[in-house]
Amino acid sequence: MNFSFTEEQTMIQEMARRFAENELAPVAEKLDQTGDREMFLNILSQLAELGFMGLTIDPEYGGTGADSIAFSLAITELARGCASTAVSVSVTNMVAEVIQAVGSEEQKTTYLPRICSGEYPAGSFCLTEATAGSDPAGMRSTAVRDGDEWVLNGTKQFISSAEYAGVFVVWAVTDSSLPRGKGISCFLVERGTPGLIISKAEKKMGQHASCTNEVRFENCRVPANALMGELNQGYRIAITELAGGRIGIGSLALGVAQAAMDYARQYITERQQFGKSLADFQGLQWMLADTYTDLEAARLLLLSAADRKSRDLPFSKEASMAKLFASEKANQACYTALQLLGGYGYIQDYPLERHARDVRVTSIYEGTSEIQRIIIARELLNEIR
């Protein structure tokens, strides 16, 4: 494997790093404390202008045309500045990718330019339900054909960016007579469609600037051509796109952890106890060594999965391995960084408590760590059957 990045990948990484340092890091605390929506939407608009809302989308549709490695690098750098921003970018890219992968030409030409340009501040991925989180085949939302329209009914939970998304990719049961998971289809629903109801934002532990909402569909009528992909084949679409999303969330976790550890590393070189720098204590040195080694391993797992995806090779197992390892080690890293600051790490004047709150959900959303282990084990056993 060639571990050097292409000129384009390096350029995207450096652009994301500069944006995170100059635009995100200085306002991350304010966004966390106030959830300033106007400021947040302005940031998303700037990122769209720079090409970050359609990183892997064909330039024909207004995208950047980069690969999954560049996407992973960009999300990691953005997360170093602000996890809320990084998750909004990651999910919006996932929405754009699914439209590019299975949408009709009309759907691609209608929605992709609006996402990539920032006309739509974000896109939302409506899969999870109260009874269908780790088990999406258990969803209860329905879509019934009525002449030239589909009528959607149901409720989706934990939908990122729902308050300001321009388009929603929605999964619903279209044939309940088929076995579980076989009668699900995928639809595109535009913001403002009658019957599409966005509930108030959830009060979360972290990632406060990124809104997360319940989304209800009450006799929500969409045209027949809102169906995306083949009828009753939506479950397969969801599973494929979730694998790609796991690269994004693993990359986000890595970025938050790197920001936390870099801050703590600098801190222990400046803080003194017992007449010498904290950095001179071997116990703390070992904490640094172990944690940075874990984060480097996470980085390599993520890049390996992204490389396989870019080359159209099977990558589900690798994406789950990368997401599992990166999110678990990132959680550990943020707590290690907080511990290195001692009591100061627990105070909001320092960024460590925010990083610890922001990173916690990365081992939950886009598939919990427990689900990743099931996927990995299943793939390993399938290889020898």
Contact 272, 173 (CB under 8 A): no
Chain segment 49-65, per-residue pLDDT in tens: 999 999 999 999 999 99
**Which pLDDT score is estimated for 178?**
93
Say yes or no: 170 and 229 in one domain.
yes
Quickly state the pLDDT bin for 311 (edges 50, 70, 90). Answer: very high
Say yes or no: 137 and 246 in one domain.
no
Say yes or no: 34 and 60 in one domain.
yes
What is the rounded average pLDDT for all residues in the chain? 96
Residue 144: give the domain boundaries: 124-235
Location of structure tokens 């009591």: 343
Say yes or no: 313 and 337 in one domain.
yes
Say yes or no: 104 and 203 in one domain.
no
Domain boundary (102, 121, 140) is at 121
Say yes or no: 299 and 167 in one domain.
no
Q: What is the DSSP string of 77-135?
A: HHHHH-HHHHHHHHHHHHHHHHHHHH--HHHHHHHHHHHHHTSSSEEEEE--BTTBSS-
Q: At what angle do helices 282-310 and 234-270 cross, to 10 degrees?
A: 150
Q: Is the pLDDT of residue 230 over 80?
A: yes
Quickly state the pLDDT bin for 205 (edges 50, 70, 90). Answer: very high
Domain boundary (191, 209, 235) is at 235
**Which pLDDT score is estimated for 272?**
87
**Which pLDDT score is estimated for 210?**
95
d(CA 314, CA 303): 14
Say yes or no: 18 and 116 in one domain.
yes
Say yes or no: 26 and 81 in one domain.
yes
Q: Is the pLDDT of residue 1 over 70?
A: no
Domain boundary (121, 143, 166) is at 121
| Other beta carbons within 10 Å of 379 | 15
Q: Which residues are catalytic?
A: 366
Say yes or no: 306 and 359 in one domain.
yes
The CATH number covering residue 48 comes to: 1.10.540.10
Say yes or no: 223 and 278 in one domain.
no
| Other beta carbons within 10 Å of 140 | 14
**Which pLDDT score is estimated for 136?**
85
Say yes or no: 174 and 244 in one domain.
no
- Tell me the H-state helices in the chain: 7-19, 28-34, 37-49, 68-81, 83-102, 105-117, 234-270, 282-310, 316-341, 352-360, 369-382
Chain segment 81-135, per-residue pLDDT in tens: 999 999 999 999 999 999 999 999 999 999 999 999 999 999 999 999 998 888 8
Q: Which of 34-48, 79-93, 128-142, 251-265 has the lowest mean pLDDT?
A: 128-142
Higher model confidence: residue 361 or residue 240? 361
Number of domains composing the chain:
3
d(CA 34, CA 190): 28
**Which pLDDT score is estimated for 85?**
98
What type of residue sits at position 351?
P
